[in-house]
């Protein structure tokens, strides 16, 4: 099928590249001309494992193209995926102005029937507004424009694999024709009829993706309800971690056992600095706002958000307990991205933490394997190091703010020798407390027994 993708950020680029990989003819566009320039020159504006190869192959085989003028993408596709950003407004509502902009453009440029697919995360009832906008701005009233909601569940860091091996594909439709067309788009994924670039054609056995056809409102609600639930889970685990810390229990032992219960599941139970990124924080806020507008008291979500915001305070207190005076002290922060295997620093807890440390007068030196360029644009005031070992030299403390595997495998013994004081504050519970203490570190983390703190309490 001929497909256009409007918005070539994390979701749009993965969507466009993967749809081309499974055999569709794809045209991608973005209002940010620099992204299209980079892509046309053979670069990839984001770091996402495996994506560069998928893009290069699809371009070589002439299934993936880019155009700088979004209006040119409309005639190029029978199905148009809207993948533009829906960032939070100051009051927490999702800013739908980019969706509105695209709706006007599609309505005025379409000369043949189109499937207009919301892939961006939007509050329930956006589909109805989209439909209205498409009909209000349509220049050729006879041309049918069908709205579909197709929420995306990919995770940055494993996005290509997630897109090609989803647990479920949710499509919110209004009629069977739209449903059939959506099935055609996803047929290779649903029936596993493609050569998988992630597993070199030898995909592990696993259940096939579930095909779920719903109303548009339900599809939109599914996405917000899912992300908000994940946010609740993270905040819940963080509160249990605080309790475990007071009681001398180990949060790792507790959540491991909890996660073995299939009713709970093991994911999103890691204690630490809390959730971040371009999805959970803003989707939670938008969901709260949606509930408020509907007169539904969803204050448990507000509590989850409050717990998440307090993680930074809790952590700064830990640092203060360890260092006493913060002002003027050199501290290394390892990790800037909101999670490992991405360069995305949007709403990253590490960035919020550094801002707080800078306010407190800490001299921060940071390192991240992939996110340094993006971090430099939003945090120019700190020092950046070329490697983790460079970052820690002469520091009074090391903070692990993102759980990149390379920080686990650092030569910590060597690190200790280069620090002014061997103090590690592990905000992601990445390292083993026993091993770190055996290496001579003062080591603090979240929700795990701390002999020093216990002595102080005794
Ligand atoms: N990032 C994720 O992991 C993820 C996962 C699932 C869903 N989502 C949702 O997908 C949507 C996109 O997220 P993202 O992370 O890809 O954001 P992004 O900011 O990386 O990408 C959005 C892109 O849209 C472009 N854009 C904005 N207005 C435009 C317009 N009028 N015409 C053409 N292009 C325009 C921007 O320049 C940008 O490149 C959001 O609604 C998000 O909530 C994101």
Contact assessment for residue 83 and residue 119, using Cβ atoms and an 8 Å cutoff: yes
Tell me the two tokens of residue 384: 């950046």
Torsion sign (Cα): 155, 159, 164, 170: positive
Ligand 1 pocket mutation pick from 11, 71, 80, 106 by most atoms within 8 angstroms of CB = 11
Burial letters 389-427, b for 16+ CB under 10 A, else e: eebbbebbbbbbbbbbeebeebebeebbeebebbbbbbb
Centroid of ligand 1 to alpha carbon of 9 (angstroms) = 5
Give the ligand 1 atom nearest the CA of 8: 39
Whether residue 456 is predicted with pLDDT greater than 70 in this model: the reply is no
User: In this structure, how many other beta carbons lie within 10 angstroms of the beta carbon of residue 53?
Assistant: 15
Contact present, 35 and 7 (Cβ < 8 Å):
no
Overall average pLDDT of the 204-215 stretch: 92
What does the pLDDT average to over 394-400?
98
What is the CA(8)–ligand 1 centre distance, in A? 7
Q: Region 20-43: what's the mean pLDDT?
A: 97
Higher pLDDT, 347 or 200: 347
Rounded distance from Cα 236 to ligand 1 centre (Å): 29
Give residue 302 CA to ligand 1 midpoint distance, Å.
25
Mean pLDDT of 117-124: 98
> Mean of the pLDDT values across residues 429-452?
94
- What's the pLDDT score for residue 198? 87
Would you place residue 449 in the very low, low, confident or very high pLDDT band (cuts 50, 70, 90)?
confident
Please name every residue paired with 5 in a beta bridge, in sequence order, or none if there are none: 28, 81
Mean pLDDT of the region 160-178: 97
Confidence bin at 453 (pLDDT 50/70/90): low
For ligand 1, atom 13, which residue shows the shortest CA distance?
A: 85
Contact present, 192 and 202 (Cβ < 8 Å): no
Spatial separation of the C-alpha atoms in residues 195 and 201, rounded to whole Å: 5
Residues 6 or more apart whose CB falls under 8 angstroms from that of 144 comprise 113, 114
| Token digits of residue 457 | 């309490």
User: CA nearest 224: which of 294, 272, 135, 174?
Assistant: 294
Q: In which band, very low, low, confident or very high, does the pLDDT at 374 lie, cut at 50, 70 and 90? A: very high
Q: Token pair for residue 405?
A: 């595997």
Say what the pLDDT of residue 205 is. Answer: 85
Query: CA 104, CA 340: separation in Å to the nearest integer?
Result: 37
Which tokens is 71 given?
A: 């209006």
Rg (CA), the chain: 24
Q: Residue 11: is its pLDDT beyond 80?
A: yes
- pLDDT, residue 215, reads 98
Task: State the pLDDT confidence band at 392, using cuts at 50, 70 and 90.
Answer: very high
Tell me how far apart the terminal alpha carbons of the chain are, to the nearest angstrom: 69
Which tens digits make up the pLDDT trace of 306-360? 999 999 999 999 999 999 999 999 999 999 999 999 999 999 999 999 999 999 9
Q: How high is the pLDDT of residue 200? A: 81
Residue 356 Cα, ligand 1 centroid: separation in angstroms? 28
Poorest-confidence range of 269-278, 392-401, 448-457? Answer: 448-457
Residue tagged active-site, from 18, 28, 279, 395: 279
Atom of ligand 1 nearest to the CA of 84: 24
* Residue-wise pLDDT tens digits, 245-287: 999 999 999 999 999 999 999 999 999 999 999 999 999 999 9
Q: What's the pLDDT band for 455 if we cut at 50, 70, 90?
A: low
CA angle 10, 35, 127 (to 5 degrees): 50
Give the pLDDT confidence score for residue 238 in this predicted structure: 98
Residue 444 has which token pair?
């603090």
Helix (H, G, I), strand (E, B) or coil at 320: helix
pLDDT digit string, tens, across residues 49-98: 999 999 999 999 999 999 999 999 999 999 999 999 999 999 999 999 99
Coil/strand/helix, residue 329: coil
Give the residue-averaged pLDDT of 142-159.
Answer: 96
Query: pTM for the complete prediction?
Result: 0.95
Quick one: which of 395, 387, 449, 433 has its CA closest to 417?
Answer: 395
Name which residue leads in pLDDT, 450 or 153: 153
For residue 381, pLDDT over 70 is answered with: yes
* Residue 451: per-residue pLDDT: 75
**388-409 average pLDDT score:** 98
Strand partners, 26: 3, 64
Query: Candidates 4, 5, 6, 12: which one to mutate for ligand 1, based on the most atoms within 8 Å of Cβ?
Result: 12
The angle, 0 to 180 degrees and rounded to 10, between the axes of the packed helices 280-293 and 216-247 is: 120
Give the largest Cα separation in the chain, rounded: 79
Known catalytic residue at 294: no
Strands (E), 377-422: 383-384, 397-400
Q: Determine contact, residues 8/36, Cβ cutoff 8 Å.
A: yes
Q: How many angstroms separate the CA atoms of 428 and 446, rounded?
A: 8
* Pocket (CB within 6 angstroms of ligand 1): 6-12, 30-32, 35, 70, 83-86, 98, 101-102, 120-121, 152, 154, 156, 278-279
Q: How far apart (Å, rounded) are the C-alpha atoms in residues 314 and 339?
A: 19
Cα–Cα distance measured from residue 144 to residue 154, given in angstroms and rounded to the nearest whole number: 30
Please tell me the distance between residue 268's alpha carbon and the centre of ligand 1 in angstroms: 23
Residue owning the nearest CA to atom 30 of ligand 1: 31
What mean pLDDT comes out for the span 387-401?
Answer: 98
d(CA 172, CA 431): 43
Share of the chain above pLDDT 70, in %: 98
> Which atom of ligand 1 lies nearest, measured to the CA of 279?
43
The predicted-structure confidence for 179-197, as pLDDT tens digits, reads as follows 999 999 999 999 998 888 8
pLDDT band at 457 (very low <50, low <70, confident <90, very high): low
**pLDDT in the model for residue 330:** 98
Structure tokens at 380: 């120019």
Average pLDDT over the chain, rounded to an integer: 96
């Amino acid at each position: 099928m001929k497909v256009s993708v409007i918005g070539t950020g994390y979701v749009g680029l993965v969507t466009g590249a993967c749809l081309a990989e499974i055999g569709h003819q794809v045209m991608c566009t973005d209002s940010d001309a620099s992204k299209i320039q980079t892509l046309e020159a053979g670069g990839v504006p984001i770091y996402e494992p495996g994506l560069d190869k998928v893009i290069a192959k699809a371009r070589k085989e002439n299934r993936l193209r880019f155009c700088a003028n979004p209006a040119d993408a409309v005639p190029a596709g029978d199905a148009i995926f809207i993948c533009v950003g829906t960032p939070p407004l100051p009051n927490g509502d999702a800013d739908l102005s980019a969706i509105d902009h695209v709706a006007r453009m599609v309505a005025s440029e379409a000369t043949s029937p189109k499937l207009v697919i919301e892939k961006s995360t939007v509050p329930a009832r956006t589909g109805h507004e989209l439909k209205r906008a498409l009909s209000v701005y349509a220049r050729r009233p006879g041309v049918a424009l069908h709205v579909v909601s197709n929420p995306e569940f990919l995770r940055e860091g494993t996005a290509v694999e997630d897109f090609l091996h989803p647990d479920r594909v949710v499509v919110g439709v209004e009629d069977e024709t739209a449903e059939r067309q959506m099935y055609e788009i996803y047929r290779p994924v649903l029936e596993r009829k493609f050569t998988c670039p992630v597993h070199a054609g030898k995909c592990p056995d696993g259940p096939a993706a579930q095909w779920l056809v719903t109303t548009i409102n339900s599809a939109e609600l599914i996405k917000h309800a899912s992300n908000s639930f994940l946010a609740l889970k993270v905040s819940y685990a963080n509160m249990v971690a605080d309790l475990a810390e007071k009681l001398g229990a180990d949060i790792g032992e507790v959540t491991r056992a909890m996660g073995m219960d299939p009713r709970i599941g093991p994911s999103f139970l890691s204690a630490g600095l809390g959730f971040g990124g371009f999805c959970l924080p803003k989707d939670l806020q938008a969901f709260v706002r949606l509930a408020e507008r509907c007169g539904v008291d969803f204050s448990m979500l507000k509590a989850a958000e409050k717990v998440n915001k307090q993680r930074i305070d809790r952590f700064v207190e830990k640092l203060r307990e360890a260092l006493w005076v913060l002002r003027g002290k050199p501290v290394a922060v390892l990790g800037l991205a909101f999670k490992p295997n991405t360069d995305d620093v949007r709403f990253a807890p590490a960035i919020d933490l550094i801002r707080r440390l800078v306010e407190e007068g800490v001299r921060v030196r940071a390192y991240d394997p992939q996110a340094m360029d993006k971090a430099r644009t939003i945090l120019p005031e700190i020092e950046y190091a070329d490697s983790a070992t460079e970052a820690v030299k002469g520091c009074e403390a090391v903070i692990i703010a993102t759980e990149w595997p390379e920080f686990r495998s650092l030569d910590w013994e060597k690190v200790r020798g280069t620090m002014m004081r061997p103090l590690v504050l592990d905000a992601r519970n990445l390292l083993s407390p026993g091993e770190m203490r055996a290496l001579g570190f003062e080591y603090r983390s979240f929700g795990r027994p701390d002999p020093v703190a216990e002595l102080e309490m005794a």
